[in-house]
Copies of this chain bind each other. A is one copy, B any other.
């Protein structure tokens, strides 16, 4: 069985265009590396009903759900309250989270005040997720991992829970870079995808000054099928009068650079 995932990014600052989200792409790559399929990502506002409904929908539909943002000490941090409501749990001051935060603030000139203590309040039946960057923990409840929104903290939290995730086989990929138009090879790609079971083919045109072509990305769990299909794509490129080259994963850059 393939494990699936959904990502929920919570924050008005992303939707206003002020902050560029980088968490989706980062988590997407990490999940891909361990063979978990990211099925959908949503960026939603700091709105209680929306957060609750999105969590419930994703929790039902996917193996794992990751949320980023809204667990800080201020009034606009409403994720934890929404999570509790989504899973019909109460909120409680978690003693271990309190202990960690106390230790963190001890010996600093920062007061461990009521607002900061809010970061130790999490839904009942949650387990803490370590925060290797600052002290305030994330938490897991059912199949939802609740992370901070700050990328460095989120990344630290993600890596502490990575070994809890059960992935499938990693989806391998190869890219055939070619100097022919997407429209010329469209029919061939459809046929090759049908011929090689388990191989998915996407095509991505690129344009650069004085230069255009198509990057054809093949993905499969099966190395043999992937290699054969890549060769078939390259043959098709050449038969159509073009030039092409097969690249291993990570060798070529994104389109549109």
Chain A interface (Cβ < 8 Å from any Cβ of B): 11-21, 24-32, 37-46, 50, 72-76, 110-111, 113-116, 118-119, 133-134, 150-152, 171, 173, 181-187, 189-190, 193, 200-205, 207, 217, 219, 254-256
With A73-B182, A116-B183: A207-B42 Cβ-Cβ less than 8 Å: no
| Option from B17, B75, B204 in Cβ contact (under 8 Å) with A25 | B17
Asked whether B19 lies within 8 Å of A74 as measured between CB atoms, the reply is no
A16 CA to B30 CA, complexed, in Å: 9
With a CB–CB cut-off of 8 A, which chain B residues contact A73?
A: 182-183, 186
18 A-B residue pairs with CB within 8 Å? A13-B204, A14-B25, A14-B28, A16-B28, A18-B173, A18-B254, A20-B254, A39-B45, A40-B42, A72-B182, A72-B205, A73-B183, A74-B186, A75-B190, A76-B203, A110-B181, A111-B184, A115-B184
- A183 lies within 8 A of B43 (CB): no
Q: Which residue of B46, B113, B255 contacts A184 across the interface (Cβ within 8 Å)?
A: B113
Question: Considering only CB atoms, which chain B residue lies closest to A249 in the complex?
Answer: B18
Decide if B13 touches A17 in the complex (CB within 8 Å).
no
Given contacts A14-B28, A15-B41, A186-B115, contact A193 B75 (CB under 8 A): yes
Residue of B nearest to A151 (CB): B256
Q: Is the CB of B19 within 8 A of A254?
A: yes
What is the minimal beta-carbon distance from A66 to any residue of chain B, in angstroms?
A: 13
**Complex CA–CA separation, A13 to B25 (angstroms):** 10
